[in-house]
Amino acid sequence: MSASDPIAFIDLQAQRARMGGKIDDAIAKVLAHGRFIMGPEVPELEKRLAEMGGAEHCVSCSSGTDSLLLVLMAWGIGPGDGVIVPAMTFASTAEVVALTGATPVFCDVLPDTFNMDPADVEAAIKVAKDQGLNLKAVIPVDLFGQPADYPAIQAIADAHGLKVMADSAQSFGGALAGKPVGSWGDATSVSFFPAKPLGCYGDGGAVLTDDADLAAKMRSLRVHGQGTNKYDNVVIGLNARLDTLQAAILLCKLDIFADEIEKRQVVAARYAAGLAGLATPPAVIDGAVSAWAQYTIKVANRDAVAAALKDRGVPTAVYYPVSLSDQPAYAHYPRTAKGAPVSAALTHEVLSLPMHPYMDEATQDRILAAVKEAVAA
């Protein structure tokens, strides 16, 4: 790449070039056999995802959002129930709770990892009980690709009889304490949105779990609550299947996924070294391997820095400009007494830099040089 070439925020074209005609061939195979819904590629993908995630079962579905919703529905969560979610996350995490009729209860995040603060989970539990909610579950989010502190959160959940669903939309391929993402909590939600580390060419998602009963319920729910046949509807369900074409694409990408995760580690390490003294790189907890869905720094005068980087040809993004707990649709839901001050502060500090496994050193050096100039401006 020359110094004048545009810089990609996420380079899906480089990935496609690496794979050659493999994806085209996989798509052509589906077109030939014609089983576009629940074709043979779907169970094959589920088997491979379960193996990679260290889980007994994998249930694929139509999106990461639906993967969250399927779990809550299968657990029977509804009106009068409460579910703890972080204030700094994408809308889906709290949205699915509200869609079941339950109440999302917000807690704050940690300032260095951006993930759920276990101490504030305890405070959120008290708030939920004080409001008369039947607290059922906690949904930690693996923001930007790093697993949340599951040992600490699981201990709290166990003490209070709560389920744990890992919102691992951004972290599949990562690990914590030697255990892969997919093996923490009672269930793990995964997204295959194109920008995710393992992304398809549309929407897609999956749930990983060791709970056979939960998996069976979700397999029914994703097909309109189907029983013994498609005209036997035993529960109210959804149309939430993963289509065969997306499964075929994901199977191709799985062949290179482990290598891509390793390459992301190299890019992240160079960022951390090059940003020293310029900005605050994301902290990684001991024993964690991040999937580095995004590389998100904290920097003073964030908006001015982002504008200066844009002038220098470096694309950036802000995740998120407003805490979810402060969004109009969610501002009335309960949160701890102190609110979510860390999440609120981060909305003015976080800035995501280009991150993908195909970034060469020359391109990354251009980005780092631009950051140095932007911070000094």
The CATH number given to whatever domain includes residue 366 is 3.90.1150.10
User: Given phi > 0 = left and psi -120 to 50 = alpha, else beta, which region is 105?
Assistant: beta
Q: Which domain range does residue 167 map to?
A: 13-252
Judge whether 238 lies within some domain: yes
Domain boundary, last residue among 217, 252, 287: 252
The pLDDT value given to residue 371: 98
For 65-101, b/e burial (b = at least 16 CB within 10 A) is bbbbbbbbbbbebeeebbbbbbbbbbebbbbbbeebe
Taking CA atoms, 312 is separated from 68, 102, 220, 349, 353, in Å, by 39, 46, 51, 20, 13
Taking CA atoms, 282 is separated from 185, 288, 298, in Å, by 24, 12, 8
99 and 232 housed in the same domain: yes
Going by pLDDT thresholds of 50, 70 and 90, the confidence category of residue 262 is: very high
The CATH number given to whatever domain includes residue 39 is 3.40.640.10
Structure tokens at 137: 């579950």
Going by pLDDT thresholds of 50, 70 and 90, the confidence category of residue 377 is: confident
The pLDDT value given to residue 2: 60
Average pLDDT, the chain: 97
Percent of the chain residues topping a pLDDT of 90: 98
Average pLDDT, integer, range 196-214: 98
* 3-state class (DSSP) for residue 168: coil
- Distance of alpha carbon 143 from the chain centroid: 6
Judge whether 5 lies within some domain: no
Helix residue ranges per DSSP H, 20-81: 22-33, 41-53, 64-74
For 299-324, b/e burial (b = at least 16 CB within 10 A) is beebeebbebbeebebbbbbbbeebb
Q: Where are the beta strands (DSSP E) in 69-176?
A: 81-86, 103-107, 134-138, 163-167, 175-176
Average pLDDT, integer, range 252-259: 98
- Name the β-bridge partners of 351: 297
Tell me: pLDDT of 71 over 90: yes
Locus of tokens 């959160």: 153
Of 27, 51, 36, nearest to 257 by C-alpha is: 51
Number of domains in the chain: 2
Tell me: pLDDT of 25 over 60: yes
311 and 212 housed in the same domain: no
Q: What is the pLDDT of residues 55-66, one digit of tens each?
A: 999 999 999 999
237 and 157 housed in the same domain: yes
Average pLDDT, integer, range 245-268: 98
Q: Is pTM beyond 0.95 here? A: yes
Tell me: pLDDT of 145 over 90: yes
Tell me: pLDDT of 106 over 60: yes
The pLDDT value given to residue 1: 55
104 and 202 housed in the same domain: yes
The pLDDT value given to residue 333: 98
218 and 350 housed in the same domain: no
183 and 45 housed in the same domain: yes
Domain boundary, last residue among 211, 235, 252: 252
User: Could you write out the DSSP letters of every residue in 313-347?
Assistant: T---B-S-SS-GGGSTTTTTS-B-TT--HHHHHHT
Judge whether 210 lies within some domain: yes
Tell me: pLDDT of 172 over 90: yes
Judge whether 263 lies within some domain: yes
User: Could you write out the DSSP letters of every residue in 277-300?
Assistant: TTSBPPP--TTEE---S-EEEE-T
Going by pLDDT thresholds of 50, 70 and 90, the confidence category of residue 3 is: low
Q: What is the pLDDT of residues 273-288, one digit of tens each?
A: 999 999 999 999 999 9
29 and 152 housed in the same domain: yes
Q: What is the pLDDT of residues 353-365, one digit of tens each?
A: 999 999 999 999 9
Average pLDDT, integer, range 302-314: 98
Judge whether 7 lies within some domain: no
Going by pLDDT thresholds of 50, 70 and 90, the confidence category of residue 5 is: confident
245 and 339 housed in the same domain: no
The pLDDT value given to residue 275: 97
Domain boundary, last residue among 252, 273, 295: 252
